[in-house]
Amino acid sequence: MIATLLGGLSPRQFLQEYWQKKPLLVRQAIPGFTGVLDREQLFALACDPDVESRWVRHDGDTWEVAHGPQRHSRLRGKRTPWTVLVQGVNLWVPEADRLLHSFDFIPQARLDDLMVSYAVDGGGVGPHFDHYDVFLLQGIGKRRWQIGDQKDHTLVEGAPLRILRHFHPTHDWVLEPGDMLYLPPHWAHNGIAMGECMTYSIGFRTPTAQELGVGFLGWLQERICLEGVYADPDLSLQDNSALISESMVDQVARMLQAIEWNRETVAEFLGEYLTEPKPQVFFDPPAQPLPRRRFERAVAQHGFALDARSILLFRKGRFFLNGEAIDAPTTEHHALAGLAHHRRLAPTSPPSPALLALLYDWYLAGFGYPQTV
């Protein structure tokens, strides 16, 4: 599929020429593609309290937004244009997860989720811009996309969405089933449904410096252990008892200098931070887990797959799964790197006992499963 996905470009060419530089329109990126779920399946997800969704309706310049779970009656409206957007469809639909990982030519550490939007004629979320890269793949129906690389990002005040006050598109395209549009961050765009349509949005993580800083300091807080106690045996009498003395500031500054980190500390933080499941994600251990020996036979015969909700990343032989560092034997690093990349292990015979022990623990936690289960 990669041959058509990028319009004949190799992943290397795409990264060099387009990624975070300029848009790319690909006609028939996935020939014959009409989606991985139908309207009613998407509506069922939108009404599920465990699934993140938004319903957006507009009437002229008036916009209304409702966060999920949605009501079934809301998804039958016909008077004014509306759309429903469902996040993380890859967590609930296996075909959606496979579609998302078709974009693994971008590192998985940057991959976020697959959002699916359904809209009636004229539906959309208005002209806006995102801080992240996005691939917009058309499912059923048609959607008109207007885009522009404008510097004016002023927003409409008081609107429940981040709608641009002034929108100046420079390109205007209609996408049909299987067509795809790539947009770099900050490109203004407006998608308008032309009749009933569904669009698949592959988005990428772009944490802000503030988010990373707060996350890192919180992570570091749980790992530092500073010694010593504030002391001032040479305390001098002050004219004003409310004054914070310079000697106190100097001593506390010296104490806090013991807080330090290096690139390896940052790498350890990133491994846990980037694999941390989103707040609405929960894992379901098997209701009737296979006994250890049956599990081992199943893996040996059919292989092992990560659950769609699991995130496995690694660096220099250090593996991270769902927010935790994994102590993996050196002998298993090659197999685990393959599992992280392909998200499944092919059958092996005989399987390594050390690897099987690790996979069985993950299976019991709901992180993965033998491919026949």
pLDDT band at 184 (very low <50, low <70, confident <90, very high): very high
126 torsion bin: left (phi>0), alpha (psi -120 to 50), beta (else) = left
pLDDT band at 181 (very low <50, low <70, confident <90, very high): very high
Nearest Cα to 326, choosing from 335, 343, 314, 316? 314
Same domain, 246 and 330: no
Q: Is there a domain that residue 123 lies in? A: yes
The whole-number pLDDT of residue 351 equals: 73
Q: Is there a domain that residue 55 lies in? A: yes
Same domain, 17 and 161: yes
Same domain, 145 and 216: no
Same domain, 226 and 179: no
Q: Convert the pLDDT of each residue in 72-108 to its tens digit.
A: 999 988 889 999 999 999 999 999 999 999 999 999 9
Give the chain's domain count: 3
Q: What is the CATH number of the domain that holds 65?
A: 2.60.120.650
Residues 6+ apart with CB under 8 A from 73: none
pLDDT band at 189 (very low <50, low <70, confident <90, very high): very high
Backbone angles phi, psi at 166, to 5 degrees: -125, 125
Same domain, 81 and 188: yes
Whole-angstrom distance, CA of residue 287 vs CA of residue 363: 11
The whole-number pLDDT of residue 77 equals: 83
Residue given tokens 């040479």 in the structure block: 234
Q: What is the CATH number of the domain that holds 302?
A: 3.40.366.30
Same domain, 106 and 215: no
Which range of residues forms the domain containing residue 252?
A: 209-235+242-260
235 in helix, strand or coil?
coil
Same domain, 179 and 218: no
Q: Say if residue 349's pLDDT is above 70.
A: no
Mean per-residue pLDDT of the chain? 95
The whole-number pLDDT of residue 91 equals: 96
Same domain, 71 and 123: yes
| Angle, alpha carbons 99-104-105 (nearest 5°) | 130
Same domain, 76 and 159: yes
Residues 6+ apart with CB under 8 A from 223: none
Whole-angstrom distance, CA of residue 296 vs CA of residue 307: 18
Nearest Cα to 33, choosing from 161, 150, 202? 202
Asked whether the beta carbons of 281 and 309 are under 8 A apart, the reply is yes
Q: Convert the pLDDT of each residue in 234-292 to its tens digit.
A: 999 999 999 999 999 999 999 999 999 999 999 999 999 999 999 989 999 999 999 99
Q: Is there a domain that residue 341 lies in? A: yes
Same domain, 222 and 141: no
Q: Convert the pLDDT of each residue in 29-79 to its tens digit.
A: 999 999 999 999 999 999 999 999 999 999 988 999 999 999 999 998 888
Same domain, 304 and 230: no
Q: Is there a domain that residue 20 lies in? A: yes
Same domain, 77 and 197: yes
